[in-house]
């Protein structure tokens, strides 16, 4: 299938999963993960109606954002190095998905104050405690929220998680359900929470069934890529 057909298929599956979960397709934000994809392909996806794109690397975001339509909502979904923070504040990142440590929060707050800016961010949680992935463990979340409570320039919008890559759907559903329980518990104290970002090309339907309202889909849209 081509790009247009891929996008239509993903939208159809999102709508079907949302309906099964008792929600509407428009309740689910689709982030098209465009890492390693050329600007011309992103523009083609834009012409198909996509507006939310996700990049892993700051340099790729900067390069593409300079030449692509200005109404694109850029999401930074990869782990962010503190020395790259200065490149994303006030420069078009709509949402950071990977706030995962205190030192990063400090640098974000510092840079936002310097530029008189604010940044919407999701706290990354590592539900399955995979050593190969970043993110806070569930039992670390409360202490982290206390640590960053005074950082008024970071607007917390919810949580992001990356589930293990597995065909065990029951296990995936369990992981996603734990993230949803965390989101629901904390949303009571953080009225600004609006996103639970979970679900990728191989598991976004299961994620939606367990409460995700933001999915990050790359391969199912753009095809398999050689990641650098």
pLDDT at 227 over 90: no
Q: Nearest-CA neighbor of 214 among 22, 75, 19, 36? A: 75
Confidence (pLDDT) at 224: 82
Cβ(13)–Cβ(207) under 8 Å?
no
Interval 17-32 mean pLDDT: 98
Band of pLDDT at residue 56, cut at 50, 70 and 90: very high
Name the fold adopted by 3-222: TIM Barrel (3.20.20)
Q: Nearest-CA neighbor of 188 among 134, 145, 147, 138? A: 145
CA angle centred on 166, ends 183 and 217, rounded to 5°: 60
d(Cα 18, Cα 204) in Å, to the nearest integer? 11
Average pLDDT value over all residues in the chain: 96
The tens digit of pLDDT for each residue in 185-213 reads: 999 999 999 999 999 999 999 999 999 99
pLDDT at 16 over 60: yes
**Total-model pTM:** 0.95
Number of neighbours of residue 95 by Cβ within 10 angstroms: 25
pLDDT at 156 over 90: yes
Question: 73: which 2 tokens?
Answer: 């909502």
Confidence (pLDDT) at 90: 85
Question: 48: which 2 tokens?
Answer: 């198909």
Question: 224: which 2 tokens?
Answer: 């398999």
Q: Structural domain boundaries of the chain?
A: 3-222
Interval 151-173 mean pLDDT: 96
Confidence (pLDDT) at 226: 44
């Amino acid at each position: 299938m081509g790009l247009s057909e891929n996008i239509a298929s993903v939208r159809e599956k999102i709508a079907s999963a949302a309906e099964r979960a008792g929600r509407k397709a428009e309740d689910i934000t689709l982030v098209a993960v465009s890492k390693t994809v050329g600007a011309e392909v992103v523009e083609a996806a834009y012409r198909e109606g996509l507006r939310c794109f996700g990049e892993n690397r700051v340099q790729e975001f900067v390069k593409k954002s300079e030449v692509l339509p200005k109404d694109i909502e850029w999401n930074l979904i990869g782990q962010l190095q503190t020395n790259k923070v200065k490149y994303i504040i006030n420069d078009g990142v709509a949402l950071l998905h990977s706030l995962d440590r205190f030192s990063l929060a400090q640098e974000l707050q510092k840079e936002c104050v310097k530029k008189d800016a604010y940044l919407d961010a999701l706290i990354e949680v590592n539900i399955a405690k995979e050593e190969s992935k970043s993110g806070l463990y569930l039992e670390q979340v409360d202490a982290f929220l206390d640590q960053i409570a005074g950082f008024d320039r970071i607007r917390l919008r919810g949580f992001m998680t990356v589930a293990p890559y597995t065909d065990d759907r029951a296990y995936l559903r369990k992981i996603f359900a734990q993230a949803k329980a965390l989101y629901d518990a904390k949303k009571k104290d953080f009225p600004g929470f609006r996103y639970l970002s979970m679900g990728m090309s191989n598991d976004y339907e299961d994620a939606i069934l367990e409460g995700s309202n933001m999915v990050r889909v790359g391969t199912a849209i753009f095809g398999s890529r050689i990641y650098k």
